[in-house]
Amino acid sequence: HVHSVRPAWLFMFMLSLETCSRGAVASWQCKYLQNGNSTCLINESISESGSIDISFPGDIRVTNCSVYGSSVAISASASLTLDSGAQVKAHAGSILLNGSSVSIFSGSSASSSALLRVLSNATGATERKVRFGDPPPPPPVGGMVSMDGASSLSGSGVRIVAGTGFLIQGKSNVSATSDGIYVGGFNSTGNCSGGITITDSLFNSNSIILSCNKSTVTLNTASSLVTKDQSGYVRITAKEVLTEPSCSVVSTNVTIVADQKVEFHGGLPGLPSEVKSTNTPTGLSISCQGAVELGAANGSWILSSAFVFGKTVSAASGLRMTTSHTDSCENNDTSQEDRCSAVLASWPTWVGAWPARGGKYGFFGGNANLSFDMVLAAREDLSLQPSALLNAASVLLCAGGQAQILAGAKVDVTGRGCGQGKGTRHGMSPSKDVNPCGAGGGSNLGAGGNGSFFDSTNLVACSMPGEAPHFNPRTQEDWRPRYYPTQGASGGGVGTPDMVVSRGEETSDSSGGGLIWLSGAKGVAFGELSALVADGSAGKLVQNSTALMGIDSVAVSGGGAGGHILVFSGDALTAPLTMDLAARLSASGGNFECTSKDHGVPGAASGAGGGGFVGLNWSGTSPAPARKPKNGVVVPEMRKGLVIEVAGGSSPLDDCSILPYTNFTPQVGKDGVAMSLSRCEAGYFIQGVFCEICIPGGWSPGGFRFECSPCRGMPENGKGEYTDYGSKVQACNYTCGLGVPNVKSNPHCYDPFNYALQFFGGVRGMVMILISVILCALLLLLRSRGKMGREVARQPLNAMTLPGISFLEPHRGVLRRFCGRLCSRIMPGSFDGLQPQLRRSLSGGEAERRPVEMQLPKEKLPFHVCRVYFHGDNRSQSPWFLDEHLPASVEQMVGPEQWQRLAAAASALAGIPVWEARKEAALGVLYPPVEPLYARQR
User: What confidence score (pLDDT) does residue 722 get?
Assistant: 87
With b for 16 or more beta-carbon neighbours within 10 A and e for fewer, the 50-85 pattern comes to ebbbbbbbbbbbbbebebbbbbbbbbbbbbbbbbbb
Q: What's the CA gap between 496 and 503, in Å, rounded? A: 8
Using alpha carbons, select from 279, 232, 224 the residue that is nearest to residue 251: 232
* Judgement on whether residues 780 and 753 belong to the same structural domain of the protein: no
* pLDDT at residue 252 tops 50: yes
Q: Say whether pLDDT at 291 is over 80.
A: yes
The CA-atom distances, in angstroms, between 519 and each of 148, 195, 342, 854 are 48, 36, 12, 120
Say yes or no: 471 and 545 in one domain: yes
Q: What's the confidence (pLDDT) of residue 889?
A: 74
Q: Looking at residue 909, what is its pLDDT?
A: 84
Residue 765 has pLDDT above 60, yes or no: yes
Judgement on whether residues 469 and 529 belong to the same structural domain of the protein: yes
Kind of pairing between the strands at 202-205 and 224-227: parallel
Pairwise CA distance, residues 240 & 261, whole Å: 5
Segment 611-634 shows an average pLDDT of 57
d(CA 25, CA 52): 7
Strand-strand pairing, 451-454 and 690-693: unpaired
Structural domain tally of the chain? 3
Per-range mean pLDDT, top range of 220-224, 675-679, 827-831: 220-224
CA–CA separation, 666 and 660 (whole Å) = 16
CA separation for the pair 516, 532 (Å, rounded): 7
Do residues 88 and 106 make contact, with C-beta atoms less than 8 angstroms apart? no
Q: Is the pTM of this model over 0.85?
A: no
With a cut of 50, say whether residue 910 has pLDDT above it: yes
In 105-247, which ranges are E strands?
Answer: 109-112, 115-120, 144-147, 152-162, 165-168, 173-184, 195-199, 202-205, 207-220, 224-227, 233-243
750 and 770 in a single domain? The answer is no
Per-residue pLDDT, 278: 76
Crossing angle (nearest 10°) for helices 812-826 and 896-910:
130
Whether the pLDDT of residue 6 is over 60: the answer is no
**Does residue 883 share a domain with residue 792?**
yes
In a domain, 268, yes or no: no
Q: If you average pLDDT over residues 535-563, what whole number do you get?
A: 73
pLDDT digits (tens, 9 = 90+) for 525-548: 999 999 999 999 998 887 654 444
- Give the residue, 536 or 821, on which the prediction is more confident: 536
Q: Are 425 and 441 in contact (CB under 8 A)?
A: no
In a shared domain, residues 544 and 605 = yes
Cα–Cα distance measured from residue 161 to residue 191, given in angstroms and rounded to the nearest whole number: 10
**DSSP string covering 838-898, please?**
-EEE-TTS-EEE--------TTTGGGT------BS-SBTTB--B--SSPPGGGTTTS-HHH
Rounded Cα gap, residues 104 and 153, in angstroms: 9
Mean pLDDT, rounded, for 757-786:
80
Q: Is residue 359 assigned to a domain? A: no
| Residue 345 neighbours by CB under 8 Å, 6+ apart | none
Distance CA 324, CA 711 (A): 55
Spatial distance between the Cα atoms of 722 and 416, rounded to a whole number of angstroms: 50
Same domain? For 526 and 628 the reply is yes
Per-residue pLDDT of 701-740, as tens digits, reads: 887 787 899 998 887 766 778 888 888 998 898 888 777 7
Give the C-alpha separation, 782 to 404, whole Å. 95
Q: Same structural domain for residues 689 and 664?
A: no
Sequential DSSP letters for 71-118:
SEEEEESSEEEEETT-EEEESSS-EEEEESEEEE-TT-EEEESSEEEE
Span 805-822, average pLDDT: 49
Task: Judge whether residue 22 has pLDDT over 80.
Answer: no
Answer with the residue of higher pLDDT: 811 or 555: 555
User: Residue 434: which of 604, 567, 286 has the closest Cα?
Assistant: 604
Mean pLDDT of 655-668: 65
Confidence of residue 653 (pLDDT cuts 50, 70, 90): low
The secondary structure element, H or E, covering residue 826 is helix 812-826
The helix/strand count (H/E) of the chain reads as: 10, 56
In the chain, the percentage of residues whose pLDDT exceeds 90 is 36
Q: Any residues with CB less than 8 A from the CB of 196 and at least 6 apart, and which?
A: 165, 166, 168, 183, 184, 210, 212, 215, 216, 217, 218, 238
The region that residue 631 occupies, defined by phi over 0 for left and psi between -120 and 50 for alpha, beta otherwise, is: left
Residue 280: DSSP 8-state: B
Name the nearest CA neighbour of 535 among 505, 549, 515.
515
Domain final residue pick, 642, 676, 710: 676
CB atoms within 10 A of CB 829: 8
Question: How does pLDDT run across 53-69, given as a tens digit for each residue?
Answer: 999 999 999 999 999 99
Domain boundary among 625, 645, 676: 676
Strand partners, 644: 585
Domain of residue 753, CATH code: 2.10.50
Residue 130 has pLDDT above 70, yes or no: no
Among 152-161, 397-406, 450-459, 556-565, which stretch is predicted with the lowest mean pLDDT? 450-459
Residue 512 located in a structural domain: yes
**More confident position, 101 or 6:** 101
Q: What backbone torsions phi and psi does residue 360 show, to the nearest 5 degrees?
A: -60, -40
Q: Please state, in angstroms and rounded to a whole number, the distance separating the CA atoms of residues 219 and 238.
A: 13
State the average pLDDT for the chain: 79
CA distance readout (Å), 771 to 415, 622, 759, 768, 921: 86, 62, 17, 5, 17
Tell me, what's the pLDDT at 471? Answer: 62
Give yes or no: residues 740 and 594 share one domain.
Answer: no
Q: Residue 698, Cβ neighbours under 10 Å: how many?
A: 19
Instruction: Please indicate whether residue 770 or residue 652 has the higher confidence score (pLDDT).
Output: 770
- Mark whether 635 and 746 lie in a shared domain: no
Q: Is the peptide bond before 436 cis (omega within 30 degrees of 0)?
A: yes
pLDDT for 484: 85
Domain that holds residue 707: 679-759
Closest C-alpha to 375, from 261, 262, 279, 284: 284
**128 falls within a domain:** no
| One domain, residues 552 and 516 | yes
Average pLDDT over residues 482-493: 88
Q: Calculate the alpha carbon distances from 537 to 447, 497, 615 in Å.
A: 15, 20, 21
From 446, 559, 463, select the one nearest 511 (Cα to Cα).
Answer: 559
Q: How far apart are CA 65 and CA 565, in angstroms?
A: 66
Strand partners, 237: 211, 257
Mean pLDDT of the 283-290 span = 94
282 assigned to some structural domain:
no
* CA 838 to chain CA mean position, Å: 117
Domain boundary among 759, 781, 808: 759
Q: Which of 830, 826, 797, 793 shows the shortest CA–CA distance to 900?
A: 826
Rounded distance between C-alpha atoms, residue 121 and residue 102, angstroms: 9
pLDDT digits (tens, 9 = 90+) for 857-900: 767 666 667 777 788 877 777 888 888 888 877 777 788 888 88
- Evaluate whether residue 553 is within a structural domain: yes
Q: Which has the closest alpha carbon to 376: 290, 314, 459, 297?
A: 314
Give the span between the Cα atoms of 666 and 459, in whole angstroms: 9
Q: What is the pLDDT of residue 735?
A: 85
Lowest mean pLDDT among 21-30, 36-45, 251-260: 21-30
Q: Where are the alpha helices (DSSP H) in 312-391?
A: 339-345
As a whole number of angstroms, the distance between CA 772 and CA 930 comes to 11
Q: What is the pLDDT of residue 834?
A: 38
In a domain, 824, yes or no: yes
Do the domain assignments include residue 903?
Answer: yes
* Confidence tier at 764 by pLDDT (50, 70, 90): confident
Distance CA 679, CA 676 (A): 7
Q: What is the mean pLDDT of residues 74-97?
A: 92
Residue 76, C-beta contacts closer than 8 angstroms, at least 6 positions apart: 40, 55, 56, 58, 59, 60, 98, 99, 100, 125
Residues 546 and 663 in one domain: yes
Instruction: Say how far apart CA 461 and CA 364 lie, in whole Å.
Output: 40
